[in-house]
Structure 1
Amino acid sequence: MYRVVPHSAWSTLCTRCWRKQQQQLLLLLQKRHLAAAAVESPKLGAAAASAFNPALHSAPGAGWEDKTLRDIFDNPSIWRDFSAKSHNPTAQHTGLFQNKDLTSAAGFKAYADRTLQKAKRQVDKILNAYTPDELVRVVRDLDRLSDLLCRVIDMSDFVRATHPDRKIVVAAHEAYTVMYEYMNVLNTTTGLYDALKRALDNPEVVAKFSDEERAVATILYKDFEKSGINLPAGARRKFVELSNEIAELGPQFINEMAPETHFLTFDSARLRGMDPMVVRELTKRGKVTIPTIGMAANHAIRSVEDEEVRKEIYIAGHTSSARQIGVLEELLKRRAELAVLVGRETYAEVALTDKMASSPEAVTKFLNALADANRPAAQTELDGLALLKKQSGQSLPLQPWDKDLYTARMMHAIRSRRRGSDILSSYFSLGTVMQGLSRLFNRLYGVRLVPRETLPGETWNDDVRRLDVIDETDGHIAVVYCDLFERAGKNPNPAHFTLRCSRQISDEEYLAEALEGAREDDGMASVRRPDGTLYQLPTIALICDFARGNPALLNFREVQTLFHEMGHALHSMLGRTALHNVAGTRCATDWAELPSVLMEHFARAPEVLGLFARHHQTDEPLPMQLVAERLQQEELMQAMETRTQILLSLLDQRYHSGLPLQRGFDSTAVYHEVEGRYGLLPAARGTSWQGFFGHLFGYGATYYAYLFDRAIAAKIWKDVFEQDPLRRDSGERYKEEVLRWGGARSGWRSYSICVLVV
């Protein structure tokens, strides 16, 4: 059965808007299950009661939750006190994310097996749908089937990439593999496709579909056809085989990135310009050994005066291992083979059929136009760096390994005439930024972030903070786990993960599960809305890699990064659709980046910064002139940064063309071809940086989305928010016309309505 959170509020929340017969049955079932739970696990009942958070019921803007939100991120001692109960060695452990199965590595197999059995029952139900009443439920049944699979796949994918316990990582990977393979089998199961087609071919049935159900039906129908559902049986088996290989190669490509040369050794005298303290830490037996990727290498590239040293470090840091290049080329080849198998010429064609840009030709046209428009400004920026190099006494033309050094010098010269950027970070403790995000969301959308103590075993690390998202009218609407501090072995890349999407659970579904004795509830958060509808809450994880401190202070780029990732989370929070397949970020890839890119505009707005940015010691408000100066510095090399994104987007398109199927395909040659055509600096021969381009897996043929959504976000910011970024009616307009739809409505339609509505 589905649990309602907070558990103690069940009896008052579940009775609204129910028919009398259902109400009596639910109360009877509730008493039976609560009584059984009390007998089986009295300690767990006590833990659930102790986890009840009074802040969930406080008025919006209450001082306790606002102050606590800042304190638990800024003050280690307050965090220790706040999270004390989660460290109680005698308390019974809940599972990860309060999933009752995930209390140990073995639990992943149990969770996958239990879900697999439910999925098979769901498949049987769909396959046997023939009457109009049965066909009306086919779309929701398929959506529920998808949700069952994704609960395991999405969560396991996150855990295997994040959890510090190797046993749990292996178990999560095995659960992921089993469920992913089953999903690929279902994608090529003709009976499921036939059931959907029966529903769509029946006008009486289609007339009863909601708008969301029509949208999901269209998505599922296209997905079946993209999966080669109309192919002969042998070809469908080949599709599953290729899909499974791609699913294995992708994580391998991401997790095994490595340079061909791991370390370089120099005499210390050749590292003039580099911080002596850093040099000393890297010195052993009179020689300085520098890792070719990472912070030390980046510091050397930005500071060492000897051009030959910088060249060696640059080339080594941009040359992937032969093994990594082999994995990438195999991945690209398998994708190209899959595209041909389903009747497409290229994988980009497959990937873009349901995107806003719609075709590889449209994407390439967009990128080429952007490249032409960007060239003059980018060239002007490079000319400035070339002049700086010449003024420093260097006669050679500007090279790729020069750019970071002379950019750093230009920035230093500007900062020396103004107050340093380190002053700016004094106004951005992590706690105040989180506080600011909550205040901003409350002003615009009527939602706030409330700290909640975790139960023992609920998180994968003691650093992880749980925030409950509370809506002023709907109450509890989402759970966010924040893992924001650096630690050894942690992936440094900032990211947002939706571990479980929003989805409405119908009364009929709930009652059927309860009467059958099927324990559908996995223990994670669900709640009844004021209108009586039951929803599973979206569960989100935010990952960053901020340096620790007391408090941790963020530089301005890190503030923008946190706003960006929270933009994705906002989409998951407010895209609370009834169907899983279109919830939150489950939309076209070139629409999914819009909320995150738009949040970067908020991070730069003085009105928004004024909500929270205060000196961590004096509590003085942030002088906005500091921000203006920092933004001016950012703009100095903005055109070159955009140029790099254009180059990578075009490389992504080339890699997902027909090239990987040609004899002698060489990804390095293609990389240098694109670099030579669109880059403005001489190519660094011998490099193979494409092996470090991790987005090639997750964003295959859709990396352009960042640039695409940057243009859309700029227009929405200008037309909706720029004049007053804190206006509630503007926030409501954006929430109602963009965020709440998730992927249930065309991005073009949402965009046009949002910017045109007055």
Structure 2
Amino acid sequence: MSHPLLQDWAGPHGLPPFADIQPADFQAAFDAALSRHRAEIDAIASQPEAPSFANTLAAFDASGRLLTRLEHLFYTLTASATSPELQAQQRALAAPLAAHGSAVYMHAGLFARVDALFEARERLGLTAEQRRLLERVHLDFLRAGARLAPEAKARYAAVMARLAELTTRFAQNVLAAESGYQLRLLTEAELAGLPGFVRAAARQAAADRGLAEGVHVITLSRSLIVPFLSFSARRDLREQAWRAWVGRGDGSAGGADADNRELCREILALRVEQARLHGHASYADFALEDTMARSQPAVMQLLERVWQPALAAQARERDAVLGAMAAAGATHALEPWDWRFYAEQARRARFELDEAEVKPYFALDRMVEAMFDCASRLFGLQFKARPDIAGYHADVRAYEVLNADGSLRGLFLQDNFARPTKRSGAWMNALRNQSRALGATPVILNNNNFARGAVGEPTLLSFDDVRTLFHEFGHGLHGLLSDVEYERLAGTQVLRDFVELPSQLFEHWMAEPAVLKTFARHWQTDEPLPDALLAKLQAARQFGQGYETLRYTASAIVDMAAHALPEAPADVVAFERDTLAAWGLPPEVGMNHRLTHFQHLFSSAGYAAGYYVYLWAEVLDCDAFNAFVEAGDVFDPVVAARLRDCILAAGNSVEPGAAFRAFRGRDPVVEPMLKDRGLLV
């Protein structure tokens, strides 16, 4: 019988045979894929012909196809549909896969050829995209240690292998902490204050976990715990839930298996060593070398630019929250688990806006229609539901994506619901990247973690959930609309502080009145969102932005501070506390992510010394959206075509600053972002 992972994948659009795959299959498949890739690399490096773009760069970009497709599949499953058996495979494979990456990028013969082409790049007559590929691949080799001395190379490879093991354990610990927590609500008194949509989601969460009828469960899924903290009248239960949410990984819940403090410290220590092997004093210096920001001062200047206005805005919001507490007769001090509850009451009083009144207009299926319609109006795309295409889980929905002329653009998969086998957060990933050279159409996946509605009822989203839906689809469009020759330059494989531009830019359309009036319809009556309610939503849009901006910026500051250290802190929890105290973060605010569960930083190096990128990209996206506003039509076809050509289709084939200038006609300015957040006085 053929191995299901090694045979040609004959599923629709080349999808793998999900139903036939067992966790134990991956070891043999990866063994074969690694062996094949090593042989391909050796063949490129040892060929007698002088290095050329075709026989070295293009050949390298086309190599490792089996390994690439296995990795895309494996990491999709470990993030979205894991199991104890799959997690064991993930731990076992972490170091060998990292070691293989080091062996490829430290391959002396291959690097010699790439380096020779790089030195001769001015004389090779390359196209702009070929030159970009050469420059990016050469930098990949350098940043992976290709120029290090032999002893340093060996140590560097050992560091990277150990980091792979540690980041895998970190992510699995966070998942264990999140999936293992249940706040069970058994009586009407414990449900006090919760509106119907929260009760329905909590009832469904209990049913998903096999609990008795009538039990309600609050999990640590953001789409469930944030509404609970906003509406629950039981202060004692709010405190329990809040402590569980912010305490993930810090040892406060007990159990050494889920304690990430030492993992954080060792990861930080190894990253310092990694940076020093490259000649940098800190990991932040090393990481920022290949970004738009380039340096710590540039990042800190942006963070400082928003910090003081956000503090002032949060102080004004605090007055409103204290007023709501006084109106309710509360005499206790304002604590972090009180903020969202009384802020919701203050918002309700000030704007006559009740989220329980708003949420019935935001059914998930309607909002998916809205995002598809926006993509169609902007880029001419068509989305054809394919319920016959099975994914790795019953929750996955498949859509063929067609160009305006009906030709195939790619396949879009969407996995929207939280479950115990899925990591928290929301993300986009590719099961296959676009590449003209490889004849590859993209297969793009969006993951969200919405709290599922009760059986027979739709899943209702908050306004923040809708923003997340559009955000991830913005990443999805970046992958789907990619139109480059070489896979290394495709889609979202851009600099980290540019990758959030398409996603955050697409968020702007979810709040457009024309979109809301068309698609925000009451799930029971089909009544469109009333003008009066829309006006209230717009009036209240910036309320709470001080609080939210501080929470985000505090996380970005702690990230940068931790990675700017010349050595790892002895106690990451104390370091986090002291850093926030030095910046004057009000104690009732807190952070979006504490270090001990900060998956952006410690589940991989993807956003390490890089959490600032959301704010950096927000400067870009607010300025970019203004191009549509200035055109007088948020669906202006000329501006949309320029956005597609200059940003979305280009992938990493163009330097990001040049790509933005090609779209906007100039460098970005910060004022639109400050105005959008209500921080421009």
Question: What TM bracket, shorter-length normalisation?
Answer: 0.7 to 0.9
Residue aligned with 1:750, SS: helix
Match of 2:152 among 214, 235, 239: 235
CA displacement 1:714-744 (0-9 Å, x = unmatched): 1110123563112222211100111111112
The number of residues matched between the two structures is: 630
1:461 is matched with 393
Q: Residue 244 of structure 1 aligns with which residue?
A: 161
Whole-angstrom distance in 1 between the partners of 2:644 and 2:608: 29
Q: 1:75 maps to what in 2?
A: none
Q: Indicate how the Cα distance of structure 1 residues 321 and 176 shifts in structure 2: closer, same or farther if over 3 A, else same.
A: closer
8 Å CA contact 2:555–2:594 kept in 1: the answer is: no
Q: Look up the equivalent residue of 1:746 and give its one-letter code.
A: E
Q: CA deviation at 1:753?
A: 1.9
Aligned twin of 1:25: none
Provide the residue aligned with 2:616 in structure 1. Answer: 708
Does residue 491 in structure 1 map to residue 423 in structure 2? yes
Aligned to 2:676: none
Give the secondary structure class of the aligned counterpart of 2:292: coil
> Is 2:540 the counterpart of 1:633?
yes
Amino acid at match of 1:479: L
Question: Which shows bigger deviation, 700-709 or 431-440?
Answer: 431-440
Within 5 A, what are the aligned runs for 1:577-596?
577-596=484-503
Where do 5+ consecutive residues of structure 2 fail to align?
252-258, 667-681
Q: Does 1:156 align with 2:92?
A: no
CA contact (8 A) 1:146 1:581 kept: no
Equivalent position of 1:86 in the other structure: none
1:729 to 610, 618, 638: 638
Shift of 1:573: 0.6
Q: Identity across aligned pairs (percent)?
A: 24
- Residues 660-679 of structure 1: matches in 2 within 5 Å? 660-661=567-568, 665-679=570-584
Query: Which digits, 9 at most, give the CA deviation of each residue in 1:499-553, with x for residues without a partner?
Result: 2211223xxxxxxxxxxxxxxxxxxxxxxxxxxxx62111111112331354433
1:699 to 573, 592, 607: 607
Correspondent of 1:719 among 619, 624, 627: 627
Q: Secondary structure at 2:409's aligned position in 1?
A: strand
| Deviation of the 1:173 alpha carbon | 6.1
Q: 1:637, CA displacement in angstroms?
A: 0.2
Distance in structure 1 (CA, Å) of the matches to 2:593 and 2:367: 38
* Paired amino acid for 2:487: H
**Alignment partner for residue 608 of structure 1, among 483, 496, 515?**
515
Cα offset, 1:584, TM superposition: 0.5
In structure 2, relative to structure 1, the CA distance for the partners of 1:102 and 1:585 (3 Å cut) is farther
**CA displacement 1:588-616 (0-9 Å, x = unmatched):** 11100111111110101123334544444
Indicate how the Cα distance of structure 1 residues 473 and 196 shifts in structure 2: closer, same or farther if over 3 A, else same.
farther
> Are the aligned partners of 2:415 and 2:446 in contact in 1 as well (CA < 8 Å)?
yes
How does 1:118-157 map onto structure 2 within 5 Å?
118-129=36-47, 131-132=49-50, 134-145=52-63, 149-157=67-75
Quick check: 1:224 aligned with 2:138? no
Question: How big is the shift at 1:480?
Answer: 1.4
**Cα deviations across residues 364-408 of structure 1 (Å, max 9, x unaligned)?**
122112213333222211222233334444556533333122112
**The residue matched to 1:450 in structure 2 has which SS?**
strand
Of the structure 1 ranges 559-568 and 603-612, higher mean CA displacement relative to structure 2 is found in 603-612
- Paired residues for 1:159-178 under 5 Å: 159-164=77-82, 166-167=84-85, 170-171=88-89, 178=96
CA distance in 2, matches of 1:474, 1:745: 28
How do residues 307-318 of structure 1 correspond to structure 2 at under 5 angstroms?
314-315=242-243, 317-318=245-246
User: What secondary structure is seen at the aligned counterpart in 2 of 1:535?
Assistant: coil
Match of 2:407 in 1: 475
Residue 198 (structure 1) aligned to one of 116, 119, 123: 116
Measure how far apart 1:497 and its partner are. Answer: 1.2
Q: 2:107 aligns with which of 189, 192, 197?
A: 189
Question: Alpha carbons of 1:673 and 1:248: their partners in 2 closer, same or farther (altered >3 Å)?
Answer: same
- 1:476-516 C-alpha deviation (Å, 9 max, x unpaired): 121111112344533342221122211223xxxxxxxxxxx
Higher relative contact order (CA 8 A, sep 6+): 1
Question: Map of 1:541-552 to 2, 5 A cutoff?
Answer: 541-546=445-450, 547-548=452-453, 549-552=456-459
Q: Given residue 628 of structure 2, which amino acid in structure 1 is its aligned partner?
A: V
Aligned counterparts of 2:309 and 2:68: Cα–Cα separation in 1: 41
In 2, are the aligned partners of 1:652 and 1:696 still within 8 Å (CA)?
Answer: yes
Q: 1:732 to 1:653 in 2, by over 3 A?
A: same
1:349 partner letter: D
The answer to whether 1:444 aligns with 2:378 is yes
CA distance in 2, matches of 1:186, 1:298: 44
1:643-682 mapped onto 2 (5 Å cutoff): 643-661=550-568, 665-682=570-587
1:374 equivalent in alignment to 2:305: no
Q: Write the distance in 2 (CA, Å) between the matches of 1:688 and 1:541.
A: 24
Instruction: State how far apart, in whole Å, the 1-side matches of 2:162 and 2:479 are.
Output: 29
Indicate which of 395, 400, 405 corresponds to 2:341: 405
DSSP-derived class of the 1:482 partner: strand
State the SS of the aligned residue for 2:542. helix
Q: Would you say the 8 A contact 1:469–1:479 is kept in 2?
A: yes
Helix, strand or coil at the partner of 1:437: helix
Tell me which residue corresponds to 2:293.
357
Q: Is the 1:483–1:542 Cα contact (8 Å) retained in structure 2? A: yes
Query: Which residue identity is paired with 1:431?
Result: D
CA contact (8 A) 2:118 2:138 kept: no
Q: What residue is the counterpart of 2:671 in the other structure?
A: none
| Cα distance between partner residues in 2 of 1:746 and 1:688 | 31
Deviates more, 1:401-410 or 1:550-559: 550-559
Give the corresponding residue for 2:658.
749
Q: Give the conservation status (yes or no) of the 8 Å contact 2:483–2:490.
A: yes
Distance change in 2, residues 1:276/1:203 (3 Å) = closer
The answer (yes or no) to whether the contact 2:364–2:458 under 8 Å persists in 1 is yes
How far does residue 137 in structure 1 lie from its aligned partner after superposition?
Answer: 3.2
1:303 Cα deviation after fit? 5.0
Q: Which residue of 1 aligns with 2:319?
A: 383
- TM-score in terms of structure 2 length: 0.82
Match for 2:431: what amino acid? Answer: L
Tell me which residue corresponds to 1:538: 442
Q: Supply the distance in 2 between the matched residues of 1:575 and 1:166 (Cα, whole angstroms).
A: 36
| 8 A Cα contact 1:123 1:145, kept in partner | yes
Instruction: Quote the residue 1:433 is aligned against.
Output: 367
Q: Do the aligned residues in 2 keep the contact of 1:594 with 1:713 (CA within 8 Å)?
A: yes
One-letter amino acid of the counterpart of residue 375, structure 1: L
TM superposition shift of 1:572: 0.3
Q: CA deviation at 1:708?
A: 1.0
CA change 1:189–1:402 in 2 (3 A) is: same
Distance apart, 1:297 and its partner CA: 6.5
Distance 2:267 2:133 in 1: 29
Contact 2:91 2:169 in 1 (8 A): no
**Distance in structure 2 (CA, Å) of the matches to 1:607 and 1:620:** 15
Give the whole-Å Cα distance in 1 for the aligned partners of 2:231 and 2:406. 53
Query: How has the CA–CA distance of structure 1 residues 558 and 300 changed in structure 2, closer, same or farther, with 3 Å as cutoff?
Result: closer
* Bigger Rg, which one: 1
Q: Could you say if the C-alpha distance between residues 110 and 343 of structure 1 is closer, same or farther in structure 2, counting changes exceeding 3 Å?
A: same
Aligned amino acid, residue 442 of structure 1: S
2:256 corresponding residue in structure 1: none
Instruction: Tell me the distance in 1 between the aligned counterparts of 2:169 and 2:24.
Output: 24
SS class of match (1:467): strand
CA distance 1:550–1:598, change in 2 (3 Å): same
